[in-house]
Amino acid sequence: MRMVKMTDLPTKGGFSFDLCRRNEMLLKNGLQMPPFRKTGTTIVGLVFQDGVVLGADTRATEGPIVADKNCEKIHFMSPNIYCCGAGTAADTEAVTDMVSSQLQLHRYATGRESRVVTALTLLKSHLFNYQGHVSAALVLGGVDVTGPHLHTVYPHGSTDTLPFATMGSGSLAAMSVFESKYKEGLTREEGIELVAEAICAGIFNDLGSGSNVDVCVITKGKTEYLRNYQLPNPRTYISSKGYTFVKGQTEVLSTKITQIQQKVETRESGDAMEE
């Protein structure tokens, strides 16, 4: 009878649970998990005469800090469909990318232009499956063979079909502009102006939204993505000549020079990688 020698097994794949106990201990001792990077946002969409106009601000927040001053919240779904996203930035990014790829595959399979309801159904069934844990609130708009469409999608998977829609923390400020000024049969210029006004209401009245206005105009056969359509918050305080700091500008009060230790001691230890 030969005893099998105990050797370390080669590591397989799979989740390593080594740190779970330490994480639990940290949480129990009062560690605050860093907050999710949310987009604290104003996103809007409206239907006008020939198509839809989507708008968004460009501020991404991490709790009270502005993480990205000029992020892109209007995501590409297909050449004729775009989607604005509010909520957790990673969720909106991932879910719109995923559905965009699914639409591309569908286009190859059918040989036809994607329809807005297809994107809508793919999004809502994914979000419903995750029961609201995928925190993505979206404004989906586009023009296909059946005409212009505008929908809102909520994190739990319900949808609305509307002539004008707003989402995000600045949605009330933007909605007040839409409710008082929207009418049927707007022209392209009127539509863009109204969207920009609604986003500006969100930027200036909501703390979670800010920086610039992005606009996307989708009509039959043509889409225009107007990145940074308006920049209502310019930096006005930079010196155009640049800053120079000459030697002697900062007063030196005292000087102390400490030599770094020249001797370095090494100790022999077993090579951990060997085994």
Partner 1 sequence: MQNVEISIPTLNGWLLGYPVTYLFSNEKLKKATGVVSMQSLHIYKIYVTRYPYVTGTSVIAMKYKDGVIMASDTAGSYGSTLRYKSVERIKTVGDHTIIGASGEISDFQEIMRYLDELILYDKMWDDGNSLGPKEVHNYLNRIMYNRRNKFNPLYNSLVLGGVKNGQKYLGTVNMIGTHYEDDHLATGFGNHLARPILRSEWREDLTFEEAVKLIEKCLLVLLYRDRSSINKFQIAKITAEGTTIHPPYSLRTYWGFSHFQNPSKGAAGTW
Q: How far is the CB of 240 from partner 1 (least distance, A)?
A: 31
Q: How far is the CB of 169 from partner 1 (least distance, A)?
A: 10
Instruction: Write out the H or E segment, with its range, that includes residue 190.
Output: helix 188-205
Query: Which one, 204 or 222, has the nearer CB to partner 1?
Result: 204
Query: Which one, 111 or 185, has the nearer CB to partner 1?
Result: 185
Strand partners for 61: 38, 66
Q: Which token pair is 225?
A: 């993505």
DSSP state of 88: B
DSSP secondary structure, 53-80, as one string: EEEE---EEETTEEEESS---EEEEETT
**Residues contacting residue 78 through CB under 8 Å, at least 6 positions apart:** 100, 103, 104, 107, 113, 114, 119, 142
Q: How far is the CB of 59 from partner 1 (least distance, A)?
A: 17
Instruction: Write out the H or E segment, with its range, that includes residue 159.
Output: strand 159-161
The whole-angstrom separation of Cα 37 and Cα 148 is 32
3-state secondary structure of 222: strand
Q: How far is the CB of 188 from partner 1 (least distance, A)?
A: 18
Sites of contact with partner 1 (CB under 8 A): 47, 116-117, 120-121, 124, 146, 149-151, 158-163, 172-173, 175-177, 179-180, 184, 197, 201, 204-205
Does the CA dihedral 7-11-14-16 come out positive or negative? positive
Query: Which one, 97 or 179, has the nearer CB to partner 1?
Result: 179
Name the residues annotated as catalytic: 41
Q: How far is the CB of 176 from partner 1 (least distance, A)?
A: 5
DSSP secondary structure, 91-148, as one string: HHHHHHHHHHHHHHHHHHHH-S---HHHHHHHHHHHHHHTTT-S-EEEEEEEEETTEE
Query: Which one, 104 or 125, has the nearer CB to partner 1?
Result: 125
Q: Which token pair is 52?
A: 């839809």
